[in-house]
Amino acid sequence: MSVPPPSREGSMPHAASRSREHSPLTEEERARASYASASTSEVSSTVRASSSRANEFALPRRDTAGFSSGTGGVRTIPFYAAAPSALKDASATAPHRQSPRTTLDRSGAGGDRSDPSPPRLSSTGVATNSSTPALARSFTTERHDLPGKLFGTHGTQRQRVSGSGDASAEAPRSDISRRGSLPSLGAGRRDPSGSIEQPSGGGVASSSSPFVERRSTPTRPSPSAANVGASGRPIEEALFYADVLFMWMGVTQTQYFTYDASENAYCMTPGVGTAVQQQAAEVFQECGTLARHIDVALRQPSSTGDSFLQQSLRSALRRQLTQYHYLVSMIRERRDPPLHMGDLMVAYKRVQPKLWVMECVLRETQHVKGGELASKMQQLVQQGSHRLSSLLYDIYIETVSPLLLMTVESITKGEVCDPLREFYIVPNDAVEDTAEDFWVSKYSLNTEMLPSTVPESVAHDILLVTKNIRFICRCCRAKQWRMDPVLLAEAERATFDTLPIVVHRALAFTNTAVLRLIREEFELVKVLRLVNAFLLVGYGDFYELLITKLEPILSKMSSAVHVSVVRDQVQSALAEITPYAKHLDTDRLALLQCEMVKDDGKLGWDSFVMTMPLPSPLNNLFDQTAMKVYRRLFRLMFRVKVAEVALKKAWRQNVMLDRLISSVQRSSQEVSAWREVAADAHLLGLQLNHFVNNLWSYLVAEVCTVAQDLLLKAIERCASMDDIRTAHNAYLAYLTQRSLLHSDCATIRMNVENIVTIVREYCGSQALLTSLLQRGSGDLSTVKRQYQGLTDDFHREMSSLLTTLEEQHVHFDFLNFLLLRLNFNRFYHDTSDAAYNTEF
C-alpha cells in the first residue's frame, strides 16, 4: 500500500524545525543524537585546527559551498563532507512508499528528476523509493545528524537503472531484480558535478586525470538472473547491513565476510545470503578492500626512508581514513529509522571513489620524496570531480606544508633546516660562514627536488635571498639588522601562488642591505684604491723607495733570501710613506704582506710578491682565484718598475762615466776607445729607457687607471652582490688581457719579458764598466762585446715585438695604444733583408 507523498511546501532543510508533538523520536533517541552532534562538532574543530595556513598553494577551489569565511583558516573538508543545499528535497515529514512500477519508470526514463532519492532494493530484490525511512531522511534530522553530510549538491539524484521507463508494473520479480541489481547500479556512476567517476567494476577515469589506471581491487562478475534462485540461507537484513559496515572497516574477518589475500577481496561465507545479498556483497566489499589496503600501506614504513613530506602525506591520509571509520561506525550504530539497502548504496557511492583516490595517491607517491613528491601531488590534484578535487586539495595542502615552511624559513631567516635532504636549496656544511668561498659554495640549487609549482627563476631568487640574509648576519656580522616586518608578515601568509611576489620584494630588500654594508661599512672603494696602489704597483713613490731598500737583498738568488729581512724592509718603507699617503686608507696598511716564492733558478726580484689578505665579507670578492690574478699582475708590473728604477740609476752612471773618462790619464787612442764604449752603452740605455718608460706608461695609464675607473662606475650601478662580483671579475679579465697576460698575447709577453731581462743585463754591464774606469785598467774589448751583444738582442726582440703588434692590433684594438707609444713615428725600421736587423 502506497503512502501519498508529503507536500514540499511544508518541508524544511532540517527536521529539527518540526514541532515536538509531530516528532517520532523518544527522549532517549534525542539524547543519543545530541551526543553524536556534539562529537561531530569536536571532530570538525580538530580538523580545522590541523590546517594553520590559508590557501597554501592557491590552487583553484571548486568546492566552496558551505564554507564559512569566519573560520580564519583553510577549511579541512572531512572525508564525508558535501554541500548542504542538496538535502532540501529529502526532508519529508512522513515516510511513504511507491510501487515498483513508479520507481523504475522514474529512474529508467528520467522523468521526474526533482525527487533526489535513489532507488533502493529490499532483501527480496524489489526496488523501492529511498524516501521511505532512508538514510537521507535521518540525515536531515538535527537530532540524528551524522558527522558531516553524506549527500553533495546533487548527491540525492536518483540512480539510473538499465531498462526503459515504460515497463509493466506486473513485471516478473527476476526482471525487476535484474534491472535494479546492485552491480548495474554501481557500474556507471556520476559524481555531483556530473563528471563520470570510476566505476565500481574497475572502469577508467577521465583521460586528463592522473587516475587513469585500473583499480587494483578486482571485482568479480555479478551473478546472472538465472543464478538468483541459487541463494543460501537468508541473513536478517539488520545483521547483514551491520556486518557489511563492519567489513568496511577493513578488518580481516567478520561474521559473514573474510578477506581473501589471493583474490585481493572479501568473500562471503559460502551457503549464506540470498541472491540479492550476494550481489550486494560483490559490490560493497570493494570499500572494505580499499580501506584495508590504505590502512596496511600507512602502517608500513615508506620506501623512500625518512621524509617530512611523506610523513605529512601519511598523516593527512590517516586523518581522512579515521573520518571514514567514524562515519561508518555512526551509520552502523543507527537504530531508528532502520537501515535499508538504498542507504548502503548511497554511502557506498559517496565513500568508494574517495577511498580509491586515497589508495591511488599512496601507490603513485610511494617512491618519491621532497619536491618530487610535491610535484606528483600537484599533478594528482588536477582532475575533474568536485568532491575528489576537494579531498585531494586538502591532502595536498597538508603534504606540502613542510616544503612551504622550509621556503618561508629560508627567505626570512636565511636558514635551511633540511636534515632529510628534501629541500631544493642544499646547504654545504663544510663551508664556514667566514670562508672566502661562502658566496659560491655555501648554498646550491637541487633542481631534482624543485616542485613544479616553483619556477626555476623563482628558486634562484630564493637561493639569493637565503645567501643575502646569511651573508648579512654571519659574514658581515650585522647583529642589528632585521628583516622588514611587512615582508615577514607577507612571507608567513605566502602561498606558492603569491611566493614570487614575496621573494622579489625580499630579494630587493636584502640586496639593498648587502650593498649598503659592502659600500659603507666595509668601504669597498677605499679597498680597491689600496689594491691598485700596492698590488698593482700604482703607488710609484713607495715602490721606488722599496726597490732601493731591497736591491742588496733581492739581487741574490731567491733561495738565499731571508723572508724576515724582506718583511722588515717592507714595514720600514710603509712607515716612511704613511705620513704622505693622504689619499689612501692608512688604517688598512697593516693588511699588506710580502711573500717569497723560493726557487733555485730565480733571483729574489722574480720571487717577491706583495699580497693583501682581506677578512670576511670582502674575501668573497678577493678570493683565491682573484688573488692569483693579482699575483700575476704584480709580478709583471713589479719587473717593469724595477727595470725603470734600474735604468734611472744607469743613466746617473753614464754621467759619471763621462767624468771618469775625462779624468783618466791615458793616451788619446785609449781615451777614444773608452769614449766609444761609453757612447754605445749610453745609446743602448736611451733605447731601453724609451721602451721601459712607454711600456710603464701604457700599463699604468691605459690599463690600470682606465680599468679602475670602469670598475668604480660599474659598482655604482650594481644592484646585488652578484653584480659586484661580476664587475670585479670583468675588471680582472680586462687587466689580464690588456696587460699582455692573456694566452692570445703570449708572443708579445715573451718579447717584453726578454727585453726586461736585457735591461737587467745592461745594468750589470754598466756596473762593470764603471768599476773598470774607477780602477783605470781592465779588458775593454770584453765589455764592448757585451754591449754589442745586448744591442743586437734588443733590436731582434724589438723588431719581433713590433711585427707582432702590427699583425695582431687588428684583432685586439688595445694593442694600438702600445704600438703607438713604442713606434709612434716609425723610429724603428728595417734596413736589411733580415727582419731582426733594426737600426736606431
Is residue 118 assigned to a domain?
Answer: no
Q: Is the residue at 290 inside a domain?
A: yes
Q: Would you say 228 and 177 are in contact if contact means Cβ atoms under 8 Å apart?
A: yes
Q: Are residues 257 and 280 in the same domain?
A: yes
Which residues, given as ranges, of the chain have pLDDT below 70? 1-230, 664-666, 776-778, 829-840
For the chain, the first-to-last Cα distance in angstroms comes to 134
CB-side neighbour CA atoms (13 Å) of 407: 33
Asked which of 594, 614, 634 is the last residue of a domain, the reply is 614
Q: Please provide residue 675's backbone torsions phi and psi, each rounded to the nearest 5 degrees.
A: -65, -35
With respect to residue 509, please indicate whether it lies within any of the assigned structural domains. Answer: yes
Judge whether 65 lies within some domain: no
Spatial contact of 424 and 410, defined as CB atoms under 8 Å apart: no
588 and 601 share one domain: yes
Do 242 and 344 have their domain in common?
yes
Q: Are residues 362 and 480 in the same domain?
A: no
Q: C-alpha cell of 808?
A: 695582431
Tell me: do 672 and 655 sit in the same domain: yes
Residue 672 lies in a domain: yes
- Reading the block at residue 416, the C-alpha cell is 635551511
Which pLDDT does position 15 carry in this prediction? 37
What's the total number of domains in the chain? 4
Same domain, residue pair 508 and 560:
no
**829 shares its domain with 796:** yes
User: Where do we find the cell 577508467?
Assistant: 204
Judge if 728 and 670 occupy the same domain. yes
Q: What is the pLDDT of residue 774?
A: 74
CB 309 within 8 A of CB 317: no
Domain of 552?
A: 523-614
- Asked if 318 and 433 sit in the same domain, the reply is no
- Domain boundary, last residue among 614, 640, 657: 614
**Claim to verify: residue 632 and residue 702 sit in the same structural domain:** yes
- Whether residue 337 lies inside any domain: the answer is yes
Q: What's the grid cell of residue 281?
A: 556483497
Is there a domain that residue 252 lies in? yes
Among 325, 344, 367, identify where a domain stops: 367
pLDDT tens digits for 127-180? Answer: 333 333 333 333 333 333 333 333 233 333 333 333 333 433 333 333 323 323
pTM for the model stands at: 0.68
Amino acid 812: pLDDT: 84
**Residue 663 sits in the same domain as residue 687:** yes
Is 130 buried (19+), middle (13-18) or exposed (0-12) by CB count in 10 A?
A: buried
CB 472 within 8 A of CB 481: yes
Residue 94 lies in a domain: no
**Residue type at position 748:** I
Residues 585 and 633 in one domain: no
Q: Is 217 within 8 Å of 264 (Cβ atoms)?
A: yes
